[in-house]
Amino acid sequence: MAAGDLIGGRYRLTKRIAAGGMGDVWRGLDTRLGRRVAVKLLHPGLAEDAAFKARFVSEANLVAALNTRSVAAIYDCGEEDTPEGTRAYLIMELVEGRSLAEVLREDGPLPVRLAARVIAAAAEGLGAAHAAGIVHRDVKPANILIARRGVVKIIDFGIARVSGETGLTATGSVIGTIAYTAPEQLTDQDPTPAGDVYSLGVVAYECLAGTPPFGADNPAAVIFGHLAQDPPPLPETVPAALSAAVMRALRKEPGERWKSVRAFAHACREAVGAQPAETVVAEDEAPPAGTPPGPRRRPLVLAAVLALAVLLALALVLRPWRNLGPGERDDAGGAPSVSADPPVASAPESAAPSSPSPSPSPSASGETKPQDGGRTGPGNDDGGNPGGDPGGGDPGPGPDPHTAKVPNLSGMMLRDAKSRLAEEGFTHTRPVFKRAWNQPNCLVYGQSPAAGESVDKAVTVQIDYYISNPATCDPDELAARSVAHVRGTPPWWRPSSPG
């Protein structure tokens, strides 16, 4: 297809704006109504596949029945005979803006308030779908669009499924994008709204941290993370209540998550609302176009300035202080007051510092006094001799080249873990395997010393890993296997031979 082609006798293609595994998305014009639309075209020949055709028509019927601004509307569907073959198409609402995936890739993590608003808005669209008995099954940043006015819309219900109905996919297939897929989807359980709660939790985590919780390049490690590992903590800049809300959405057991996406959205809003205003970046609160501005805080600032001025005026009149001679105490019997005379300059340090005194004299506050124009260094004792550490404040020796922090090996393949240790200078390893037929072969699940611990590079690092097939432990072979089939005993989870 090319720009200018007419689809369905009324939709003119103007510009291709996206391409995916199932087809292309074009900007188009409805010549009958004169409105701009998005045209989703299946690749040639897929319309002849009964399963793909059923999925495509199912998306149109499911989404067209929803009535919410948080889901991109579908206006029409059909088939078009082209020189390349029959192509099925959807005519959808055109959303001017960027996908959340583009926003995260180009701008990085979102400010906490903006992240909470995006997740809450996406939850509204998913909540409407769940109320109609529809489970999305592919919630991810690429399927969340943010319009120019800040409106959030869910798209791509192409693999959605009505709860309780037979799916359109082959038995044993994992549907969705692995990085955002719920644990129960990986074991081919029936889809429920709890799966979308988990996927939205992964999206929320990525909005706040910049990466998904289980973002390894190896699909096996990602699957292992979803099934058996706890998500890494979110950055400390994320409010504790918001972090707890996201972590609850990411629990392994569906029954332990939020009861609905709307409950998750409410928790996110509550967490952000409880955050002190002064810790929020001002840009976070910029309202979308058309939103009336909130109350101004200038009167409070003015009142504070006036109060401070009154206090200063009273201080000048009452003069609660008086000039005292050196060593005098004020009438209240408190600590010696500051002398009115200018301080006497200290004698300059000699170029060659003397030997350090065995017991340096700290300042009254217990902190070292700044020397040499504000640089913090050892203070002088009463006799003018430098005290504290030798060297007059020069920095001490650098880090020990013989020590290093042990890298995190969990989720890696055995060979990759050894390579990672070698990169950090650890050449002595002790692999210890555990027989587990239901775990990925050669997947590292533990280590000693622990990740992040600073130790001598000469120590032996123990690598704990699973083994299900003693005949092979080749990570390349494992990575090459399909991750689509995980029902029953897939190839990499097969029991080892007897004996």
Instruction: Please tell me which residue in 24, 30, 107, 138 is annotated as part of the active site.
Output: 138
User: Nearest-CA neighbor of 3 among 22, 40, 28, 21?
Assistant: 28
> Sign (positive/negative) of CA torsion 269, 273, 279, 280?
positive
Strands 152-154 and 144-147: antiparallel
Q: Under a CB-based contact definition with an 8 Å cutoff, are residues 269 and 113 in contact?
A: no
Amino acid letter for position 415:
R
From first CA to last CA, the distance across the chain in angstroms is 60
Q: How many other C-beta atoms are found inside a 10 Å radius of the C-beta of residue 12?
A: 17
Q: Is 138 known to be catalytic?
A: yes
Tokens of residue 466, six digits: 């699973």
Tokens of residue 175, six digits: 């549907």
Q: How many other C-beta atoms are found inside a 10 Å radius of the C-beta of residue 33?
A: 10
User: Nearest-CA neighbor of 90 among 102, 72, 70?
Assistant: 72
Q: Under a CB-based contact definition with an 8 Å cutoff, are residues 392 and 379 in contact?
A: no
Q: Under a CB-based contact definition with an 8 Å cutoff, are residues 214 and 221 in contact?
A: yes
Residues in the chain: 499
Q: Under a CB-based contact definition with an 8 Å cutoff, are residues 140 and 180 in contact?
A: yes
Amino acid letter for position 273:
G
Q: Which residues are catalytic?
A: 138
